Structure 1
Amino acid sequence: MTKAAFAAYAFAGTLAYPFLRPYVGWRVSKGKEDKRRQRERYGIASKPRPKAGPLIWLHAASVGESLAVAPLVRAMACDGLQIVMTTGTITSANLVEERLADCVIHQYVPLDVGPAVGRFLDHWRPDLAIVAESEIWPLTIHELARRRIPQILVNARMSDRSFQRWKARPRIAEVLFEKFAHVIAQSDVDAERFRLLGAHAVSLAGNLKADAAPLSADSAALEELSGAVGARPRFAAISTHPGEEDLVAETHLALRLRHEGLLTILVPRHADRGAAIAKMLADKGLTVTRRSEGVLPDAATDVYLGDTMGELGLYLRLSEIAFIGKSITGQGGQNPIEAAMLATGILTGRYVQNFRDTYQRLLRAGGARIVRDADELTVQVDTLLVDPIQRMAMARAALRAIDDMRGALDRTLAALDPFLHPLRLSVSLERQGRVGSVR
């Protein structure tokens, strides 16, 4: 049954391979793929492999994962280890080029089909594969195992929905998860889930995102935007999903007479929804200024719509209060660590199961509060706008909660040491050999 299911998956990928080019082309037309580098998605490398020395393949799907593993990447690079780092989005590729270009070779991750994965591995010949968080690609996992390349899942997490799906297919799950040489989990719950699904070696390290640097912001843009906002009362709603923007609009309408000059900073999770959100807000009688249009908010602006990618650090620095979406009308929540790191008090809906451990810590510390609907969101925003002492205390509590979570990087490196040590030794011996030959 398991072999048949995997064979069917691999066969379907082989059949679909000739038709993937139109699909990738469509994604290019939508701005979701890099036109200049789309060949990398088929495993065709755009850069040469280093001629000598061991090589680590590290994969981080998007921006959040890339930020989380950045300190880990630097720690490994400091040992002289060479790294090819793959990501799946244009924004994450830009981030890697901006922050890690001096210590990694960046490529887009190959599609999980036989020809692409085989071509990628034939070219790069990695000695170790490290995958961040929750990326499970069956054919890639199988091919790495077939080539006897150890693969490790770091900062690993397993959402409720994913766990239920895998639990319904226990034999398939076991065949896949037993191939990981080590799973380094974010929380006790995550660790137990990976064990139940068939992973043999599982350890707990905590969340690498707590050890990452705070989200950056362009200083000139921040100065310009802060000057435009001035001393106006404001709150932010970030990573919102469909339906939550309506709740945020209701909150603004309920509070704008009570808080003169109130500005709402609204940052949807998906920037391409900007036009639709702007229309909805305008239909409610709100004046909207869109970041994507390069216009600064003025005194008449009710909502500043952050419909751009890669500027969350900018928006978060403008407010001490942030509602984090995908938690009321959405399911699972979004990561609150970035907001908490910037000393922001956090409001959230109830549905944050994907980040349960982090939210529990924030709630216990007093750095986060739960709201169930627009009325409760309105009450909490009003309370915090009225009382700056309470607002500052909440923001500091959020920052303390994240500070208490630090240490995941050291624990992750300790868990990786049995795999990294032989590679470091190989680098050391190679260097000694080069010095000896020069002498």
Structure 2
Amino acid sequence: MTRIRGTGQEPCGALLGAGWWGVAALVSPLLRMNLRRRARHGKEIVACLPQRRGMPGQPRPPGPLIWLHASSVGENVAIVPVIGQLLATDPSLHVLVTTGTVTGAEVLLTRVAALPGHARVIQQFAPLDVPRWVRRFVRFWHPDAAALVESELWPNLIAACRQQRIPLALVNGRMSDRSLAGWRRARCLLRRMLSAFGWVMARSMEDAERLRRGGASHIDLVADLKDAALPLPCDPAMLATLRHRLAGRPVWIAASTHPGEDATIMAAAGLIRQAVPDALALIIPRHPARGVEIASMAGAAIPRRALDQWPDMDDGVWICDTLGETGLFYSLGAPVVLGNSLPGCAGGGHNPTEPARMGCPIASGPQTANFRQAYTRLGHGARCVSTAHDIAAWIIPLLQQPDTARALGDQARRLAAPDPEVACQVARALRALGGM
């Protein structure tokens, strides 16, 4: 555990914090307008907009309460095992979970529904970081302990917790070199925020070092919470239907794709069809709304899952643009190329343990900095590809030799086996932080 002594920079942090406080307060009318605009585009739920201003969506239950804030899908999936451990250890405990996206909320509620005691989980949308909005939220819920997940560092929210003497934890803390450099002009504000955490879990040794340099003084655990995640859910009846519809065709998957990768994937699908004429590429965009955009790129009719369209033998591509069905497609055990990693996109990668735990051979582009530790764990079990020709050269032999593909998938499953002890450690730390 690393300790950092006082730096004498607290006044600087307070000054910058006051500046952020003032700016956030001034722009609150614009934030209200933006929330309404987002609701018109389906990015917010109209009935839940008051929650974004810190207003509760339901009464606070009596007894102990632990609050977890996880912004989007990946973070919400990662904390589900921790929620399960918390519910199992104390039948009087409630868990409040705030999310920042509609998709994250939907995925969270779906996953939590399978946990014993799930009725004691409360989902709310996180208040925006406006002083009076976060104060209203914190005063109403007043949790016994609060945990922010990964990189959710919001000055006013953290300040409100400090004012109400709510113990804070940073879970699966993440900070890239770029993020740390981005804080260089507000380094003392970063130090002020990170020093507020009484318990810090860093996702990797590299993240731990950057958080320490930023000002975290209680780094007590270095582990990746996503290593504790269970396999993605899959409806057995739908899987049987999917297998029947595909009728044994050789399939490969391009998963969690982002803008800038579509042309490479489409080109790879064409090359693969030249060698394996009945091959089918399943493209799963990270954001399902992009299904229309991807379909329009091809210049021909491409079946889309969101329209309940199924591919026939003449189709080389099927766009699987639905929410919450990635586990269904991974259950095929087909080779997977993970997106947000190929040249031409913003990059950073996606979590390879999800397909690996379902027996899928894994490949990815070179931009995987956000999941470096997970890829290190898989070692040679994950292939690096950059071009359409790279993808085709990897996929074609696996489609032609199913036994080789199954062996690679089994190897990936073994290397990515979940570690439930990580979730237990986090749950114990949160309960201890809250004096439970």
Task: Note whether the superposition's TM-score is higher than 0.5.
Answer: yes
Find out whether 1:232 has 2:246 as its counterpart.
no
- Correspondence 1:311-390 to 2 at 5 A: 311-328=325-342, 329-330=344-345, 331-362=347-378, 364=379, 366-390=380-404
Measured in 1, the distance between the counterparts of 2:419 and 2:401 equals 28
The structure 1 residue matched to 2:182, chosen from 165, 171, 176, is: 165
* Partner in structure 2 of residue 434 of structure 1: none
Q: Which amino acid aligns with 1:36?
A: A
Cα-to-partner distance string for 1:303-353 (whole Å, 9 max, x where unaligned): 110112222112222342000011112321111121111111111011101
Going from structure 1 to structure 2, the CA distance change for 1:269 and 1:404 (only over 3 Å counts) comes to closer
* Structure 1 position 404, deviation (Å): 6.8
* Partner in structure 2 of residue 16 of structure 1: 27
Measured in 2, the distance between the counterparts of 1:168 and 1:377 equals 42
Q: Which amino acid aligns with 2:108?
A: V
Cα-to-partner distance string for 1:193-234 (whole Å, 9 max, x where unaligned): 111111110022422222222111233332222211111111
Going from structure 1 to structure 2, the CA distance change for 1:115 and 1:417 (only over 3 Å counts) comes to closer
Q: Which amino acid aligns with 2:67?
A: W
Pick which of 246-255 and 11-20 moved more: 11-20
Measured in 1, the distance between the counterparts of 2:55 and 2:43 equals 19
Going from structure 1 to structure 2, the CA distance change for 1:250 and 1:99 (only over 3 Å counts) comes to closer
Higher relative contact order (CA 8 A, sep 6+): 2
Query: Does the CA contact (< 8 Å) of 1:191 and 1:203 recur in 2?
Result: no
* Structure 1 position 257, deviation (Å): 2.5
Going from structure 1 to structure 2, the CA distance change for 1:49 and 1:405 (only over 3 Å counts) comes to closer
* Structure 1 position 99, deviation (Å): 3.7
Query: Does the CA contact (< 8 Å) of 2:96 and 2:123 recur in 1?
Result: yes
Helix, strand or coil: the match of 1:257?
helix
Cα-to-partner distance string for 1:376-421 (whole Å, 9 max, x where unaligned): 111111122222232122211211111275532233234445314x
Q: Which amino acid aligns with 2:23?
A: A
* Structure 1 position 115, deviation (Å): 1.8
Find out whether 1:48 has 2:59 as its counterpart.
yes
* Structure 1 position 294, deviation (Å): 1.1
Helix, strand or coil: the match of 1:288?
coil
Query: Does the CA contact (< 8 Å) of 1:74 and 1:103 recur in 2?
Result: no
Going from structure 1 to structure 2, the CA distance change for 1:178 and 1:56 (only over 3 Å counts) comes to same
* Partner in structure 2 of residue 428 of structure 1: none
* Partner in structure 2 of residue 396 of structure 1: 410
Q: How many residues align?
A: 416
* Partner in structure 2 of residue 289 of structure 1: 303
* Partner in structure 2 of residue 61 of structure 1: 71
Query: Does the CA contact (< 8 Å) of 2:333 and 2:359 recur in 1?
Result: no
Measured in 1, the distance between the counterparts of 2:362 and 2:355 equals 7
- Correspondence 1:26-425 to 2 at 5 A: 26-50=37-61, 52-78=62-88, 79=90, 80-100=92-112, 101-167=118-184, 169-281=186-298, 283=299, 287-328=301-342, 329-330=344-345, 331-362=347-378, 364=379, 366-403=380-417, 407-416=421-430, 418-420=432-434, 422-423=435-436
Query: Does the CA contact (< 8 Å) of 2:176 and 2:210 recur in 1?
Result: no
Unaligned runs of 5+ in 2: 1-11, 113-117
Measured in 2, the distance between the counterparts of 1:152 and 1:317 equals 35
Q: Which amino acid aligns with 1:352?
A: T
Helix, strand or coil: the match of 1:152?
strand
* Structure 1 position 177, deviation (Å): 0.6
Measured in 2, the distance between the counterparts of 1:186 and 1:5 equals 27
* Partner in structure 2 of residue 6 of structure 1: 17
Measured in 1, the distance between the counterparts of 2:335 and 2:65 equals 43
Helix, strand or coil: the match of 1:304?
strand
Query: Does the CA contact (< 8 Å) of 2:145 and 2:431 recur in 1?
Result: no
Measured in 2, the distance between the counterparts of 1:124 and 1:169 equals 30
Q: TM-score, normalised by structure 1?
A: 0.90
CA RMSD, 1 decimal: 1.8
Measured in 1, the distance between the counterparts of 2:59 and 2:418 equals 42
Cα-to-partner distance string for 1:339-380 (whole Å, 9 max, x where unaligned): 111111111011101110111111x2x321101211111111
* Structure 1 position 136, deviation (Å): 1.0
Helix, strand or coil: the match of 1:61?
coil
Measured in 1, the distance between the counterparts of 2:176 and 2:240 equals 39
